[in-house]
Structure 1
Amino acid sequence: MRRSVALAVATTAAVTSAVLGNAPSASADLVTYCIGTGGAVTVPNDLYVPAGESCALTGTIITGNVSVAAGANLVVTGGRVDGQVSIASNGYLDAKRSTVRGEITVASGGYGVYLQTAESGSVTVRAKGSATIDSFLFAEDASITGSVNAQAGEVRLDAGTELTGSLSTTGTYYTDLHDSFVDGTLSVLNSSTGSVICGSAVRGRSTFAGNLGGVQLGPDGALDTCASGGYFGADVSITNTTGTVTVGDSIIDGKLTVQRNTPVARVAATNRIRGGVVGDPAPAAARSSAPAAAPRGERGEDRAEDRRASAVSEAVAAGDAGL
């Protein structure tokens, strides 16, 4: 069985660059490679997971930045990263009961990020471009200090996730909020299967424009199962949507604008909209007759669980990383 390797490189910046290639720069030019498993130790510098390898850490503290190379996996349980995390093409980050104090950045074609009962800084998901892999960001009962900006893949904040900044997505597969809170603004543009906001609160202005597949605020829509409506602390605008638009059981502390949607939006009588409705909604209805689809997050969550299981298995097989 191949044993894991942990390398510490301390040298001049020029030599470090030549030896490590795309590995991250570090304080005092020190980088720790991780292949395999690690426990409750402190890594006093940057950490690098080499291309195609897996690193599974439990209770580990990393004082520097983390780089997950192409096709690599990093699973952190009960740990902490004091710096930033960068994820390359087909790279994966799984953080459970863990803290990432810096920003998380997913490169074009990155596999994805799964935050479960975790804390992190801002999250950026780059546009897919010519990559064949479409990324995802799933957050369950997570706390994100900063904003989320995604330009690809599946985005779902769920189960009590809190975001101190704004959520802005363009060209995602879908952008959904379930039982979550956004303290800033919400912007969902050009999503290929639309957006669902269920049982969530958004303090700032909410904008949905150019989405395909529809927009569903509250229950009784065609996109996803949903138990309750939401709260919107400012104006809500839903425009240029292709697909069913439904707004139900929601409180909007501003005006609702629904214009140039095909078909026209259905705004239920169960809403409380302080600033009134502007645009061309269909006649109000207490309930929509559209059948609800299966939960949209199941496909992505399966991807995350499968990748995590595979990563942990590979890391265990590689043995002790010797951190």
Structure 2
Amino acid sequence: MIIRRQTKQINVGSVPIGGMSPISVQSMTNTDTKDTEATISQIHRLEKAGCEIIRVAVLDQEAALCLQTIRDKISIPLIADIHFDHRLAIASMENGAQAIRINPGNLGGEGKLSRVVAAAKQHRVPIRVGVNSGSIEKDLLKEHGYPTPEKPTSLIKSAIRNVRLLEKHGYDEIKISIKSSDVMTTVSGYQQLSQVTDYPLHLGVTEAGGLIAGTVKSSVALGILLSQGIGDTFRVSLTRDPVEEIRVGFEVLRALKIRERGPELISCPTCGRTRIDLFSLAEEVEKYVQTMETPIKVAVMGCVVNGPGEAREADIGVTGGNGVGIIFKKGEIYKKVPEDELLEVFMEELKKMEEEGRKR
């Protein structure tokens, strides 16, 4: 049983973070924020996949001015990601950002930071103090060295120093992240940070990589930390379509039995008995079930000999043979169809189950 670490609760728009609120799954757009049409379109796809909070990069004043247009067309909270220019942080909040991500130490001094805090108070916008291993202050690196699994001190010191700056100006609507591209440095850093602060923590492995490497690194780090009750919200960072980040994120939560969203998909690893294009079938089914919300178990199996028996606990499954496919429910054959119609018929059955689930 996972026992959540007790943290202060803040709210990013309508989404509570920390306390006993659900661990939320975030992503970040990779579009040009000034291209509002493309950005809104991508956010809509992310919403459909289950994304609960979205972050966009604000590189200049024009991008900041686009935030209200974007916010008006989406249904999840909008975070502005700011670096170096305090004026962009202020403009983002004035134009609808519901939270900002900054590194307070690189905004140009306390005077400029105080103006950011004043705007955050006025607009009731929480601040994420986001420190990466590549953005630690030089004096901390000189004193404590580059962060490692054995000694992530400089990461932690940087985060706490910047939190104290915000507190000095009377602000405590804060969440913290300390990300490294190294898995065990990330784990060690968050473990130690969680012992010295009760602010909510945003988890993630920065620059994790593409689909395979990024999924593995993020899943290992997040799995360890979340299983220890550490973490209130997170992003799986992939060099990939950000929709994939949401898919991986919810699978991590499902594997830990923390949260479930939509179907669980199981599929066999294939063997010499496989007589259908299982890879394509599984891929198409996986794409579709990501749009579903009903928490059922779906199986995609490779052969009619063992498929239904091996996936007996699945609510519904599909498998194929030489020219014929079968759809089974709870391990029992439900329907036989020609192989070239198998995917279409199976999708229709999934749609029916989704509609039935919504009526309950």
Q: Which of the pair is proportionally richer in strand?
A: 1
Q: Which of the pair is proportionally richer in helix?
A: 2
TM-score, with length taken from structure 2:
0.29
TM-score, with length taken from structure 1:
0.31
